[in-house]
């Protein structure tokens, strides 16, 4: 689902958080796609796994859906930020992250911080530039 505002396109996932807080899953501005911090919630059911690796997988499915709606793919990602409340949870997720970003090699940062809901154990934010990468 999309909304247009002053030349920018807002992509909405249907998450109740977007409506309650007032943000978009992603914003397309020219060739740039800014994907908001995205957690492991299955937005259709508004459920989340307790397992951090499953959350990372769902985060990437959610990010992938936003990128696709914006007309790009993971190959176009130039920057990624990983946000986790527990540093120890990061390494178990590396194989999942490598599957999506191993060939792309975006600039990346991992930060340890509190997240909005105690059930959230992993959050991902990405920036992509449409047409900058080979399709994967």
pLDDT tens sequence for the chain (136 residues): 555 656 789 999 888 888 888 999 999 999 999 999 999 999 888 899 999 999 999 999 999 999 999 999 999 999 999 999 999 999 999 999 999 999 999 999 999 999 999 999 999 999 999 988 754 4
56 φ, ψ (degrees, to nearest 5): -60, -45
CATH number of the structural domain spanning residue 89: 3.30.1330.40
Nearest to 57 by CA among 39, 74, 77, 44: 39
Which pTM value belongs to this model? 0.89
Domain housing 66: 2-129
In a domain, 100, yes or no: yes
Residue 47 in tokens: 């459920």
Query: How far is it, in rounded angstroms, from Cα 74 to Cα 35?
Result: 12
Indicate the number of domains in the chain. 1
Residue 134 lies in a domain: no
CA distance 14 to 46: 10
- Residue 98 lies inside a defined structural domain of this protein: yes
Contact 82, 123 (CB under 8 A): yes
Residue 64 lies in a domain: yes
As a whole number of angstroms, the distance between CA 83 and CA 114 comes to 8
């Amino acid at each position: 689902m999309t909304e247009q505002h002053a030349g920018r396109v807002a992509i909405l996932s249907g998450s109740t958080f977007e409506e309650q807080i007032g943000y978009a899953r992603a914003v397309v501005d020219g060739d740039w796609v800014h994907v908001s911090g995205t957690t492991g919630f299955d937005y259709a059911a508004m459920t989340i796994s307790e397992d951090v690796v499953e959350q990372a997988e769902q985060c990437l499915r959610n990010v992938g859906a936003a990128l696709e709606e914006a007309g790009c793919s993971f190959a176009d990602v130039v920057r990624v930020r990983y946000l986790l409340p527990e540093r120890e949870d990061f390494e178990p997720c590396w194989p999942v992250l490598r599957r999506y970003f191993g060939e792309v090699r975006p600039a990346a940062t991992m930060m340890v911080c509190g997240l909005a809901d105690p059930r959230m154990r992993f959050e991902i934010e990405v920036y992509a530039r449409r047409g900058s990468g080979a399709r994967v």
